[in-house]
Amino acid sequence: MDAADVTADLTEILFTRAQIDERIAEIAARIDADYADKNPLLIGVLNGAVMVMSDLSRALSIHCAMDWMAVSSYGMGTQSSGVVRILKDLSTDLEGRHVLVVEDIIDTGLTLTYLMQNLASRNPASLEIMTMFRKPDAMKAEIDVKYIGYDLPNQFVVGYGLDFAGRYRNLNDVGILAPHVYS
Ligand SMILES: O=P(O)(O)OC[C@H]1O[C@H](OP(=O)(O)OP(=O)(O)O)[C@H](O)[C@@H]1O
Ligand code: HPA
Ligand SMILES: [Mg+2]
């Protein structure tokens, strides 16, 4: 494992940092081709997307800008509250921009459903999503996602930006959190 000794807190490692890096490189090549000469604005969804934004943006060869929004719906638990709160808004005007939202995970899909409606109302030239992970069996809303890293089983996972109560975000690998940690 890495930094903190959390082996006992995970039941299984699903994706290693090397697998994540490999997938990000593939996605970055597609984004380079799709957005050549478009100077896209990458919007990272704080806090979880910090790792993927950092790695994806540096894997790109094209020019791009970055901005951040902070939203929260999970708080300290493992279930979505269903209420998405904007804690920090963008500082960039989206009018006429090619916008790519960068997320760590789509679980129920409630966060991105809310966010995409909110961002679409600001008249971007285009609006797409890149997410590192998605849980197809947990989604409660249809979301059109252009770039997906990996699909996950419907279990609570941590690492690579994904937290439980603020912990485990700094793990390099992504694994299933053992139920004894949260129950
Ligand atoms: O598809 P959903 O069920 O809405 O879940 C996905 C969202 O939940 C997490 O954020 P969280 O609200 O925990 O805030 P955080 O990024 O600061 O951890 C994650 O980073 C996504 O933004
Ligand atoms: O499985 C998850 N782990 C951590 N944070 C999350 N936010 C939504 N789903 C998850
Ligand atoms: Mg979280």
Catalytic (active-site) positions: 107
> What are the chain's domains?
18-152 (3.40.50.2020)
pLDDT of 1 over the 60 cut: no
Verify whether ligand 1 is closer than 6 Å to residue 47 (CB atom): yes
Q: What percent of the chain has a predicted confidence (pLDDT) above 90? A: 86
- Cα separation of 49 and 53, whole Å? 6
Lowest mean pLDDT among 3-7, 98-102, 159-163: 3-7
* Ligand 2 nearest atom to the CA of residue 155, by list position: 1
User: Is the ipTM beyond the 0.90 threshold?
Assistant: yes
Query: Buried (b) or exposed (e) across 139-149, using 16+ Cβ within 10 A?
Result: beeeeeebbbb
Q: Which of 111, 155, 182 to mutate to test the pocket of ligand 1 (most atoms within 8 A of CB)?
A: 111
pTM for this predicted structure: 0.95
